[in-house]
Structure formats: C-alpha cells, structure tokens
Amino acid sequence: MQLKVREVNISSGGPLIAIISLNDANILDLKALDRIKIKKDRKEIVVAVDISKGNRVKKGQIGLFEEVSKLLKLKNNSVVIVSVEPKPKSLQYIKKKLDGGRLNKTEVNEIVKDIVENRLTDIEITYFISGCYVNGMSLYESAYLTEAIVDNGKKLNLNKYPILDKHSISGVPGNRTTMIIIPIVTAMGYIMPKTSTRSITSVSGTADTFETLAPVEHSVIDIRKIINKVGGCMVWGGAMELASADDKLIKVEKTISLDPEGIMLASILAKKSSVGATHVILDIPWGRGSKVETIKIAKRLRNKFEVLGKLLGMEIKTIFSDGRQPVGNGIGPALEARDVLLVLENKGPLDLKEKSVKMASMLLSMVGVKNSYKKALGVLESGLALKKMKEIIKAQNGNPNITSDKIKVGKFRYDVKAKTFGVVRGISNKNIVKIAKAAGAPEDKGAGIYFNIKLNNKVKKNQILFSIFAENKKRLQYAKQIYNNSKVINIEK
Amino acid sequence: MQLKVREVNISSGGPLIAIISLNDANILDLKALDRIKIKKDRKEIVVAVDISKGNRVKKGQIGLFEEVSKLLKLKNNSVVIVSVEPKPKSLQYIKKKLDGGRLNKTEVNEIVKDIVENRLTDIEITYFISGCYVNGMSLYESAYLTEAIVDNGKKLNLNKYPILDKHSISGVPGNRTTMIIIPIVTAMGYIMPKTSTRSITSVSGTADTFETLAPVEHSVIDIRKIINKVGGCMVWGGAMELASADDKLIKVEKTISLDPEGIMLASILAKKSSVGATHVILDIPWGRGSKVETIKIAKRLRNKFEVLGKLLGMEIKTIFSDGRQPVGNGIGPALEARDVLLVLENKGPLDLKEKSVKMASMLLSMVGVKNSYKKALGVLESGLALKKMKEIIKAQNGNPNITSDKIKVGKFRYDVKAKTFGVVRGISNKNIVKIAKAAGAPEDKGAGIYFNIKLNNKVKKNQILFSIFAENKKRLQYAKQIYNNSKVINIEK
C-alpha cells in the first residue's frame, strides 16, 4: 500500500511508531501496535502502528514521529510503501513471562535486544515489567537479563585483572564515598573504572558531583586511555551507552514506582559487568526513611546480590550502613565535591571519611591486601589519595590545581535555625532532596544544602541546623517555599 | 513556574499529556508521568508529564498534545502556569492489584473513572490490565468493574421490564442472529434495545451489517424514541458512549492479545447493563478454530457469565453452538444483510434461521413464554418478523421497502473452485476473515465472501467453493493475493 508522509513535529521518546488511519488499518487488517514495514527507495524500517480514529491522520496518509522520519530521511508528502510485518518474537516471550513461565537466555536476550533497538512500545515494555514484577524473576533470569543488557550495549574491554568497582543503593543524600574510594585504591595500583549515574531522583549523582571538578562525558575509547594512564575514572555511564536497555526499563518502572527486584539487580550488575568488574563492594544503607527500611530486607538483598554475582563471575561483598541521615555535610554537586576534597585534604567530615576508608579496605582485602584498613587510611592521610585524585581530574580534562577552598557554592544562602533546643531525633532524607532540588541542584552546581547536625546531636535554640544554597534569588525563594511546607528535622526536648 | 506553549500537531490518542524539558522537570522534581496542573487565566487542567531529554521541548517550554491545547484553548507561545499535582489515587489501587490485592467497589470505580476522563496513561492502564491478567479477578471484582464501566458512561434508562438482550462470543464469521432474533421477539411485544459493536477484528460487526439497511449511529435520546415506537433497535454502541472505559481497555489488551477474562466478562455485561437488560441469551460458539476451543472452556465461561449475571441482577442463559465454520452464507456487511433478509423472507440459509429461532425461543421462555420455539418460528415464517424488521429499519431512518434482491454486493467477483473432489473437513474462520477484510470489508459494504459449502459437504472438482466480492478491482486483486497465500478449505478425498 502506498501512503503519503505526514510529519509529526515531535519524537515518540524512543519507540519507532507510525500513525495510520482506521481506514487503511482495516484494509491491512492491522490493530494498534501491530507492525508494518515502511519502504522508501532502498531504505526500509519496521515500526509499530498507532491507529488514528479521529481526524489526526487521514486515509492515504502515514504520520511519522521524528525518530522514524529521520531514520528514513522522509519529508512531508513523501510517498512510502507500507506492508504488514509479523510482530516481534519477543512479544511471545513477554506473554510467557506474564503467564508465569521462566524465560531462558535466548528469550531474555531477544526482549532486551528489541528494547534497545526501539522495536517495542511502552505498552509492551510495561507488560514485560509487570510480568517480572508480579511473577518474580529467578536469579537465573536476573543473570540472563544482566548479560543481555551488557551484550546489547557497549563494553569497556580493558583486559585487566582484577577490576574493582562499587555500588551504593541510592536514597541517602551526600553519600559520595566513590570519589574517595577510587583515589585510595588506584593510588595503591588497582584498576577501578567507575561509571556513575547522574541524578534521577536524588539531589546529585556521583557523575553530577565529579563534574564540578572535571568533565564526566567521555567515550569508551577515551576512558580506556584514562584508565591506562591513571588506573581510575569517574565518568557518566550514560555517555558510554553501556546499558541503554536499562534506561528504557527504568522509565516505565518509575511511572508507578515499581522496582521489580530482579530487574533492579540486573540493572545494577550490568553496569559493573560492562566495565569488566571482578570485585565489587556493595553499600546497602538501611533504616527508616531510606530505600531499605529494615536489616532483614537488607540481608535478603545482600544474599541475592552475592549469589547473582557468582553466576556472573563477579565477587561481591556488602557493607550495611546508616541510611537514616545524609553522609557528610554537603548535599548538591559543589557542596559534595568540597566535602570530598576536604576528606582527601584531611579536613573533611569524619563520617564520610570513615565510611569511605572502610569500603576501600573491604575492597582491597577482597583482592588479597592484608591490613587493608590501615593501608587505606595511610594512603588517604598521607596525601597519596589526594595526589591520585588530581591525576584523575587532570586525565579527565579538569583542573588539577583545585582545592576545597576554591570550590564555588551558590552565593544566595538561607540559614535554617532551630526553633527550640533539644536533641535531633529525625532527619527527613526525602524532604532534604526536595529542597535541594528546588534550590537548583543538580543543574545549578552550586545549589544545595549544607548540614551542620547529625542524628542525636544536641542543639540550642537559634543554632543553624542547615543552610540552603542557590545560584539565584528565585530558586532560593522557591526552595524556602518548599522548606516552609515540609518537616526536615525533628527535634525533641 | 511559567512555561511557553509549544503545540504538538498530533493527538495523544486519549491520555492528557504535556512534555517539558529535563531541566524544568528537575526544578519541579518531576519524573516521567508525574502529574502537573496547567493553568491559563481561569481554566486549569491536570495532565501527565513526559520528559524531553533531547531537543524536543526546550527549557521554558511546554509541549502540548492536541487534546490538552484544545481543552485549554491554547496556541503556540501562550504562557501558562504549571504546578505539581499529586498522582491520581487510582494508581495506588493499580499497584494494589499488581501486588495481588483484591479491589473493592470504590477502588475499581476510581480506576475506571480516571480511565474515562483520560487521567491515566497507556503505561498505567497496561499495569492495571497486567494485574488483572496475572493475578486474576474475583467475580466480585468483575461485577464492580461492570458497574464502574456502566456508571462512568451513559445509560439508556428505559424504565421498562423485562428488557431482553443477547450476546455472541465473537470469532465466527456471518453469525448475524441478532438481526433475526430482534424482529421475532419485538414482533411479539417484547423490548430489545440492542447495541452492537462495529468490527474490531472480524469482517463485520452487527452494527456494520445493519448499517447497509439503516443508519446505526443514534443518540441515547433518539434510541429511547425508537424503542418506544417499535420496541427494538440495532444501533452502534460506540455512538452512545455507553461504555467508553471499555474501548480504552481493549486498545491496550489487543497489543499483545491479552484478554483477561475478568475484564472481558465486565466489558460484555457492561453493555447489557447500560441498556438495562434483565434477560440475556448468550451464544458461546466453540470448536477448533473458534475463540473457545473446547466444551470444557465453554462451560466454565457459561458458569462465570451466569453467576456474574446474578450479582448484577441479570438473568443469563447460554447456548453452545458450532464455532468451527461460518453461520449463513454471506460474510461482509451487504452479504450478511442479504442473508438476514432472506431468512425473514423465508428463503434464507437454514443454519442461520435455525440458530436464530432457537436463541429467540430461549430468550422468550426466560420471560415465561410457553411453546416459545413454535411461537418464534411462527412469527418468523408468517412474515410478522419481516414486517417488524421493516418498522425498525424505518424507525432508524432506513428504507423500509428494502428486499433481499435489492441489496447491492460488490460487482467485482472471484470464484474459488475446488481443485479436487472430496469432503470438506476443515474451514479456516481466521483466513476467511483475512480475505474478506482484504477485499474491503467492512468499509466497502459490498465486499466480502459468499460461501457455498459447509463442513462435511461433498464437493466435486471445479465446483465453486466460495466467491470473493469487492467494490473495486484493486481490492479484489489484494484479496486474491491473500487467498493465494492462505489455506481456507481442507478437502479430503
């Protein structure tokens, strides 16, 4: 069938979709989200069809979202040839999963491949996630999913051993241990090619924070060069396309805050696997107000990670940490980067320092280092880690002469003072995140919150509990407004 | 936050959606499919947000699909005020269903209301359907769903008793009993306000077929007038908006051919309930190649329908019929209408006549008519049913002088002949549907197939098995092409 192109001036956000009229759909016996092949000269592409019931797309027309018109280089009124294609096989496997079946490696790979290549629509991906959520996933399925995500993305291929990595379950503001662990272990000669996320729901991801010191968007080739030179890096995983299936799964999961455990495990481990990690330290912060609320859940999660790690040929060790309050004092890219430099300069917040050294030492002992805590602490306190940090900053094209006192934080500031004396009995991570984001983080690098207190600290009336920083007045106002409507700190007399 | 409108030249197909930049989303702490309120002067509307990661929608802009810009009467560059809204409560209930919970009446109603009012996105509706599919639905949940679909649509409110209705599980071509049952029972003074579907996957729905005799799109007010005048009608349910939630559920289900039983039951019974039906005859065709493959499944389905009917205050009786082959000879709107008139004129295909009279008699006996088969047959054979049919055609603004020989079928014809002698052992309903649709049905009213044989008939070599009709040459060619690639009739020597 010949149809005339009508360009739709927007992208579908991923899936390849074309819209045809109900009339033409009936002729081709197509239902919504059936597949068609669009052919123009020698180019062809298979897309899902949406069916226009009103006047959106008329008989004889085909509406193309930007993704499709770009791929085929089509303009308004180009004539294309349309024919019916079978639906992707992966849909059968999605149905199988919904029906409670177990998927094998080939089936999982087919689904992931189709997701990566934009052959599945949001509705179809939702069915996959629903199946995984409601029927659960075996650890084997999670392992297949991890491998499929890795195989359908790029890989770092360093050909070295061992390769160290770490992961923290998110949800705790200021938890920037990565930026201290890496300088320590790489200063000791180990390889740690860390890819991090940007903020999704948090104030700042490691990538956002490190970006205040050096660029974090590097190609796979550049990262190999950086690693060969300095042993470690802190880059944004997104720029490398290591795990693009993952982003698409996350989008659909977030819509009703589903986080099917099997997918979450695969999503995290795929990022480790794609850099070739052999030893991973996993931080599971737990406690009221964090993602993992009880130690029981934390332990169950640890077991799954560790078993799954074995299936994937990765050694994983876990640390349980305090998830009830921020780590360090700064929250927001620049404020966190300053904390990190302060720790490396031996002036920093003690909780961040201690946690980082502990994690570094666990990682080191996994690869056979004796007295690892003492050694890690020595490397940090002797300034070797700071020196290494500057090398990494330089290798990533940042300014190696940076010091903690040169970091610029937002010049607009609002101090929140204690309305009463008492003891700090509760800190709301959730509301801290809201306020810091309202202040402009992570886009405005200097925006965020500086915290002066920890749980169980005694406070005096009018003592500054925390300060909100913003880069402009409007955002500070907005953050104050959010602050006024939310409870951040619970002080009991 | 103030944003400038950028119109998107397409509709979302239902859900109210706006697109904002990742920048602005971070400021408002929004994730994809969170909700925002858009305000312009005194008008406001709550919509789901999609987040643009590329260059689709720039910082400071808001992209609006047609549904939204029309509702607020917004043009390009209008300035609107955007604020964060909580997500609809119905999402919690959808999550509950995914988690294996049972929904109560209020919860089901909230979900359906939000679907009808376009407050849920396709992804969210998919999660609902997945939950119903994987965890199953109790009969109570199906009853609540039925009531919710009815309560969130229009109702006919005839204030009469009894009100008769019928339903056939689809999948059998040519099964146009409705158009014979209605004239019979209404000729006997009973009320039967029938709403039918147009073809979704079939060659022709009752609405498509009756449309060759009279218009089928009437408002609820007009239908009341028609019923008061002639006791029965055959109208397209879609025009009345009796069950608009249903259409949206169906769209998402079809994408991977899911048909969660609990939703299917509710969807069918909602259409009966919205016209106030008190007695319903249900036709379950079964057998190889039909929707219901075994008598066991047919019986299970009957039980569910009958129990659910009781919960909803509706008496339902079931007939099991032959689903392995078409009913009547004609397949396609005009060809089926001709069969129906032939039956009413006492000349028609016997299988269609017999099945219709049987169903009519069962329906009549449900409301206390004695000797109902004999009476139904009498009304049909005496011409009273034909007279009533003409009254209904007239009441729906059709031409009451129509006779079977005046029905126009497609003038392009292709006869399919037996390549061998033998006995007909198999007829593929599925492939009949494909060919008839390729020939132009149901849009081209005269297109379709005329069948000369039934299962177990003996055929001679070169005997015409069936003829394909089309309204134009191109469509006939296309249908022939589909025929050449598919097996329709299995003849064994």
Tokens 């599980």, residue?
B169
Identify whether the C-beta of residue B165 lies closer than 8 Å to the C-beta of residue B279.
yes
Cα(A259)–Cα(A268) distance, integer angstroms: 12
Contacts of B255 in chain A (CB under 8 A): 31-33, 121, 123-124, 127
Please judge whether B255 and A10 are an interchain contact, meaning their C-beta atoms are less than 8 angstroms apart: no
Tokens 């329709």, residue?
B488
Q: Would you state the pLDDT for residue B257? A: 74
Cα(B432)–Cα(A426) distance, integer angstroms: 69
Cα(A53)–Cα(A63) distance, integer angstroms: 13
B190: Cβ contacts below 8 Å, ≥ 6 apart? B162, B164, B231, B364, B367
Task: Give the chain B residue whose CA is nearest to the CA of A438.
Answer: B27
Q: What is the pLDDT of residues A384-422, one digit of tens each?
A: 999 999 999 999 999 999 999 999 999 999 999 999 999
Q: CA-based angle A232:A233:A235, to the nearest 5?
A: 160
Cα(B451)–Cα(B448) distance, integer angstroms: 10
Q: Is B287 helix (H, G, I), strand (E, B) or coil?
A: coil
- Dihedral angle at the C-alpha atoms of A341, A346, A347, A349, nearest 10 degrees? 80
**DSSP, residue by residue, B19-65:** EEEHHHHHHTT--TT-EEEEEETTEEEEEEEEEE-SSSS-TTEEEE-
Contacts of B134 in chain A (CB under 8 A): 98, 100, 130-131, 134-135
Q: Is A303 helix (H, G, I), strand (E, B) or coil?
A: helix
Region for A462 from its dihedrals, namely left if φ exceeds 0, alpha if ψ lies in -120 to 50, beta otherwise:
left
Thinking of the domain A164-241+250-395, which architecture would CATH place it in? 3-Layer(aba) Sandwich (3.40)
Which two tokens mark A258?
């589903």
Cα(B430)–Cα(B287) distance, integer angstroms: 13
Average of per-residue pLDDT across A9-32 = 81
Q: Would you state the pLDDT for residue B54? A: 66
Please judge whether B131 and A131 are an interchain contact, meaning their C-beta atoms are less than 8 angstroms apart: no
A26, A33, A54 ranked by CB distance to B11: nearest: A54
Q: pTM for the full model?
A: 0.84
- From the number of C-beta atoms within 10 Å of its C-beta (0-12, 13-18, 19+), residue A71 rates as middle
Q: Which CATH fold topology does B164-239+263-395 show?
A: Pyrimidine Nucleoside Phosphorylase; Chain A, domain 2 (3.40.1030)
Q: Is A317 helix (H, G, I), strand (E, B) or coil?
A: strand
Cα(B343)–Cα(B339) distance, integer angstroms: 6
B29, B200, B478 ranked by CB distance to A437: nearest: B29
Cα(A66)–Cα(A9) distance, integer angstroms: 7
Q: What is the pLDDT of residues A311-361, one digit of tens each?
A: 999 999 999 999 999 999 999 999 999 999 999 999 989 999 999 999 999
Task: Give the chain B residue whose CA is nearest to the CA of A256.
Answer: B91
Q: Is the dihedral of CA B327, B330, B332, B336 positive or negative?
A: negative
Contacts of A27 in chain B (CB under 8 A): 437-438, 440, 443, 475, 478
Show me where the domains of chain B are located.
Answer: 2-85, 90-136, 164-239+263-395, 412-492
Question: Which of A196, A210, A208 minimizes the C-alpha distance to A444?
Answer: A208
**Res. A55: pLDDT tops 70:** no
- From the number of C-beta atoms within 10 Å of its C-beta (0-12, 13-18, 19+), residue B29 rates as middle
**R_g over Cα of chain A:** 25
Q: In A218-357, at which residue ranges do the beta strands (DSSP E only) sit? A: 232-236, 279-286, 315-322, 330-331
Question: Which of A316, A247, A253 minimizes the C-alpha distance to A280?
Answer: A316
* Element housing B477 (H / E): helix B473-484
* Element housing A415 (H / E): strand A412-417
For testing contact with chain B, the best of A1, A19, A27, A89 (most B CBs within 10 A): A27
- Dihedral angle at the C-alpha atoms of B475, B481, B484, B488, nearest 10 degrees? -40
β-pairing, B422-427 vs B330-331, is: unpaired
Tokens 């129990």, residue?
B307
B67: Cβ contacts below 8 Å, ≥ 6 apart? B11, B12, B14, B15, B16, B17, B118
Which two tokens mark A243?
């795990």
- CA of B462 vs chain A CAs: smallest distance (Å): 30
- From the number of C-beta atoms within 10 Å of its C-beta (0-12, 13-18, 19+), residue B458 rates as exposed
- From the number of C-beta atoms within 10 Å of its C-beta (0-12, 13-18, 19+), residue A470 rates as buried
Q: What is the pLDDT of residues A150-205, one digit of tens each?
A: 999 888 989 999 999 999 998 899 999 999 999 999 999 999 999 988 877 788 98
Q: Would you state the pLDDT for residue A392? A: 98
Share of chain A above pLDDT 70, in %: 99
Q: Would you state the pLDDT for residue B477? A: 95
β-pairing, B279-286 vs B422-427, is: unpaired
Which two tokens mark B488?
């329709």
First to last CA, chain B: 77
- CA of A487 vs chain B CAs: smallest distance (Å): 17
Q: Would you state the pLDDT for residue B269? A: 94
Cα(A146)–Cα(A243) distance, integer angstroms: 9
> Which CATH number among 3.90.1170.30, 3.40.50.1860, 3.30.720.110, 3.90.1150.10 corresponds to the domain A412-492?
3.90.1170.30
Phi and psi of A202, rounded to 5°?
A: -90, 175
Which two tokens mark A260?
């099917």
Q: What's the complex ipTM? A: 0.81
Q: Give the residues across from B234 on adjacent strands.
A: B194
**DSSP, residue by residue, B316-345:** EEEEEEE-SS-SSSEESHHHHHHHHHHHHT
B3: Cβ contacts below 8 Å, ≥ 6 apart? B20, B24, B60, B61, B62, B79, B80, B82
Task: Tell how many helices (H) and how many strands (E) occur in chain B.
Answer: 19, 18
Which two tokens mark B338?
């001709």
Q: Which CATH class is domain A90-136?
A: mainly alpha
Cα(A240)–Cα(A238) distance, integer angstroms: 5
Cα(A23)–Cα(A30) distance, integer angstroms: 10
Q: Would you state the pLDDT for residue B55? A: 66
| Per-residue pLDDT tens listing for chain B (493 residues) | 899 988 877 777 778 888 898 888 878 878 888 899 999 888 888 998 888 876 678 888 998 888 888 888 888 888 999 988 988 999 999 999 999 999 999 999 999 999 988 889 888 999 999 999 999 999 999 999 999 999 998 889 899 999 999 999 988 999 999 999 999 999 999 999 999 888 777 889 999 999 999 999 999 999 999 999 999 999 998 777 777 788 788 878 877 777 788 888 998 999 999 999 999 999 999 998 888 999 999 999 999 999 999 999 999 999 999 999 999 999 999 999 999 999 999 998 999 999 999 999 999 999 999 999 999 999 999 999 999 999 999 999 999 999 999 999 999 999 999 999 999 999 999 999 999 999 999 889 999 999 999 999 999 999 999 999 999 999 999 999 999 999 999 999 8
For testing contact with chain B, the best of A12, A29, A118, A253 (most B CBs within 10 A): A29
Q: Is A361 helix (H, G, I), strand (E, B) or coil?
A: helix
Contacts of A127 in chain B (CB under 8 A): 126, 130, 255-256, 258
- Whether A415 is a known active-site residue: answer no
Cα(A349)–Cα(A342) distance, integer angstroms: 7
- From the number of C-beta atoms within 10 Å of its C-beta (0-12, 13-18, 19+), residue B321 rates as buried
Query: What's the CATH code, domain A2-85?
Result: 2.40.40.20
- CA of A382 vs chain B CAs: smallest distance (Å): 39
Please judge whether B126 and A121 are an interchain contact, meaning their C-beta atoms are less than 8 angstroms apart: no
Question: Which of B155, B399, B53 minimizes the C-alpha distance to A248?
Answer: B53
**Res. A253: pLDDT tops 70:** yes
